[in-house]
A and B are shown apart, each in its own frame.
Chain A
């Protein structure tokens, strides 16, 4: 597992993927941050964090697209699958390397907060006189990490189904977009039961609480379950491929 993790991390930085990912992640988060806080002159980061879900939706598939597709295309998966490691270790190695890259990007994106901390308590025209809410930011970062984990798990799962990286990235974004927006159709649906199910499934609706500063344990468990389910499905994909 550690060997696979190390190799993946190495490959992110010896090929362009890692740099492209970090660059796009930082650029998009900075744009979103600027638009949602600095331009409207607020130190409230709630809107920033809910928009970050869409940023994750775009950037994480860049990481996950080639995890297994590439291995399958170049047949290197034969090395992994005949090595004395379990399928679980193989999938977890990949998952952890993606997670690690995501954490690096998220940590780097924290430079976005510098301006509001610098200017918030002095009344300027950039920020309001309210100091930024540190615990809200920390809570949201934790929530984002968990959402990111579930996105990565979904992305890896899709990548294990196809040897075409481009297909993997498109399908992953489509699925993530669907999961994010599923709750937005609620107002058009009359049936209460369906509405409840949709908003229960929707990653976006579940995230709203965090932006108000409520640490929603239920939502965290939901995100963790999605990660767990898709990691499990990925493992099953490899187990079942043997039998095909």
Chain B
């Protein structure tokens, strides 16, 4: 269990982390979501004992990260934003070093083999880290974090700079790890937390603006009110028809054209599902609908929404 109480970190006059508190329970996969510079890395660095806080406390299973740092750090495996790799070592040598550094006492050969197998780096064990691709380096970093079977694993932006296939691999790996470990990861990609985490903590400008289970987060965020619809029919009349419907806030021509079909961005009022009535109205006129897709919200939109929602609650 990671308990964070009233944590603040100040650089000069600027608060990188501003009085945040939360508790991460055993077995959770928690995602830290926020734009660059929101304070994600700072928070993680404080949790792992790399930085210390200006005020507030962090305790790992009851051990204070500053007062009883050795016991606390033994419970944590950390992958920083830039994996801390010694590029002049082979993968095996590096993992052996980490194993010894963490003062592990169980069977070394077996443990390292297991970790390599888990993150799928067994085939590059004997290679110099310098010569590995970015994806493999990231995995070696993850392997380093896993050595010693720490109870909690903390990943700072684990998928940045990887290609789509590698990202999927790493996400699957993290989900698997979540079965045995408590996992905390940070990211600025919303799909990532939605895909991997049980719980999402949204942080912006050093403050927590949302802390919810993924399901309820999705409900809050994913009430889609915007659709991109492709309709074959006379452009002006289609716009006129849609605008005249109940619950429509706006309808703009998006501009993509395919034969006689145009694409429109349609936004409806909150809490109204316009899809069925839109379909019927178009069918009545004999203008076939060729496609409809919800327009996902960008991270910025979500922040605005969350911040607004918070303001309303107050």
Contacts and interface: CB of A to CB of B under 8 A. Distances in A.
User: Are A and B co-members of a single complex?
Assistant: yes
Interface of A: 2-4, 6-7, 10-11, 14-15, 74-86, 242-243
Given A11-B86, A14-B88, A76-B85, A83 B100 contact: no
Interface string B46-77: 00111110100000000000000111011010
A112 B46 CA distance: 53
Interface in B109-140: none
B97 A81 contact: no
A18 B80 CA distance: 29
The 5 A-B pairs of least Cβ separation, nearest first, read: A3-B100, A79-B84, A84-B74, A84-B73, A242-B52
A204 B200 CA distance: 63
A85 B50 contact: no
Given A3-B97, A242-B50, A78 B84 contact: yes
Given A82-B48, A83-B102, A11 B87 contact: no
Nearest to A90: B101
B59 to A, nearest CB: 16
A239 B85 CA distance: 22
Contact of A82 (B71, B78, B82): B78
B106 to A, nearest CB: 15
A15 B88 contact: yes
A7 B45 CA distance: 24
B87 A74 contact: yes
B88 A82 contact: no
8 contacts: A6-B97, A7-B97, A82-B78, A83-B73, A85-B103, A86-B70, A242-B50, A243-B54
B70 to A, nearest CB: 5
A75 B88 contact: no
Contacts of A85: 70, 101, 103
B50 A81 contact: yes
Given A7-B89, A84-B103, A85-B70, 4 more contacts: A74-B84, A78-B50, A82-B73, A83-B101
A6 B100 contact: yes
B158 interface: no
A79 B141 CA distance: 10
Bin chain B's interface residue count: 20 to 34
A7 B80 contact: no
A3 B84 CA distance: 16
A4 B103 CA distance: 11
B144 interface: yes
Contacts of A77: 84
Nearest to B9: A243
A7 B73 CA distance: 21
A76 B137 CA distance: 13
Task: Count chain B CB atoms within 10 A of each CB in A4, A10, A14, A78 and give the residue with the most.
Answer: A78
Contact of B101 (A3, A78, A86): A3
Contacts of A86: 69-70
B101 A82 contact: no
B205 interface: no
B19 interface: no
A87 to B, nearest CB: 9
B175 to A, nearest CB: 24
Contacts of B169: none
Contacts of A242: 50-52
A79 B206 CA distance: 25
B98 interface: yes
A230 B144 CA distance: 31
Contacts of A14: 88-89
Nearest to B103: A84
Contacts of A243: 52, 54
Contacts of B49: 81-82
B28 interface: no
A138 B69 CA distance: 44
A82 B76 contact: yes
A84 B102 contact: yes
Nearest to B87: A74
Contacts of B73: 82-84
B93 interface: yes
B80 A78 contact: yes
Given A82-B76, A84-B103, A85-B103, A76 B52 contact: no
B49 to A, nearest CB: 6
A76 B101 contact: no
Contacts of A11: 86, 88-89
A242 B65 CA distance: 12
A83 B77 CA distance: 8
A85 B69 CA distance: 8
Nearest to B97: A7
Nearest to B78: A82
A125 to B, nearest CB: 49
Contacts of B85: 74, 76
